[in-house]
Structures are given as structure tokens and as C-alpha cells.
Amino acid sequence: MASRPPKKDRPNARFHGRVEAEGRLCAEPGCNAAGEFRAPPLEGARSGFDGPPQFRWLCLDHVRAFNSGYNFFSGMSPDEIHEAQRPIAGWERETRAFSANPDVPPRWADFADPLDAIGARFRDRMKDRGERKDGRPLSGADRDALKVLDLEIDCDRTALRKRYSELVRKFHPDRNGGDRSHEARLQRVIAAYQQLKGSAAFA
């Protein structure tokens, strides 16, 4: 007969939402119980802070007390309460907010889904490091070729062909009225196109 697993030291060790941590006490003043349940900070979100929400840690008794007194609609007007209670409230908004300025990194608060915010920041960092969003590797020669063609690292084969055609029309003597002063640049453009056309990043 199989033996039963040993009892845990404390009941409800698998209580929903409990996150155990050695030495972390309840944030309620004067309470020496373990802080194992998350609750919003008393002062609310930090002004100007761009990141995931911060939490304070409470014991089971104090988080129950907090939950029993929590009112989601506190401070809302009747119209705002009505709007929040609509069955599709929140579904109409876009998941992602795009900035008109591409040089400004995405803000955490611009996203309804925290995973979208994390992914956007990751892709932004990959771009700074010279890597494509799709994860395809770029060699040093690929990066140099993109600079010659004045293309972004995330361009596709269609953009590559379009840019190549534009530059050939601009620099080839047969296309620009016989001006042969750009032949050296034309050779660099052709070499760059050949490099990228055969690159794994554009396969």
C-alpha cells in the first residue's frame, strides 16, 4: 500500500495567490506575519514611473481585509461607472499604442497587455543591437549592404527590390540621361543588392 505524502507544515500552503518568500513580512504596520499576497500600494501608481505596477505584500488576514474594503468604482462618476459596466468595456481599445515619433521607445502604459509591452521593448532593443524583429540573423556584410541601399534592418524582399530599382534608375547612365559620374556608386549598389538577395535574412 502506497504511503501518503507528508503533511505540509502549514495548512493552505497552496492557497491561490500565495507567493512565499523567506523573510518577507507583511507591509501592514505592526504585523509580523509573512507577506505572501500582493496588493496595490497605498499611495497608488508612482508619478512618471514607466514600468509594471508596483505591489506591497500582505499576510492572508490583511489582504482579506484589503479585499473586503476595495471598491473598483471608487472616485468614478455615474457615467464612468456605467461605461465600465458595459459588457464590452475595454475591448474596443487598441492593444497597442503607436507613437508618431519612432525615436521614442514604447511606454508601458501604452499597452493593455503587459506581454505586448515586454515584447515591444524587446524588439526595440533588438533593433538597437542591429537584429531583425523576425529573428533572422544579419551578418556584418548584410548590415553594410543595407547602409549602402539606405534600408532599415527589418525591410523585406519587396522593399529591397523596390529600392534597388530606384537606385539603378538614378545612377545607371542608360537611365539617367548618360550621366556617368555615379558609376562607382552604382557598382556598390549592385554589390549590396547581390549580397542581400542571397542572404538568409531575405530568404
How many residues belong to the chain? 203
pLDDT digits (tens, 9 = 90+) for 60-112: 999 999 888 878 787 788 888 888 787 766 555 544 444 555 556 566 566 55
Q: What are phi and psi of 116, to 5 degrees?
A: -65, -40
Least confident among 82-91, 93-102, 113-122, 168-177: 93-102
Whole-model pTM: value is 0.39
Q: Regarding predicted confidence, which is higher, 96 or 39?
A: 39
Q: Are 151 and 160 in contact (CB under 8 A)?
A: yes
Rounded CA-CA distance 135/109 in Å is: 26
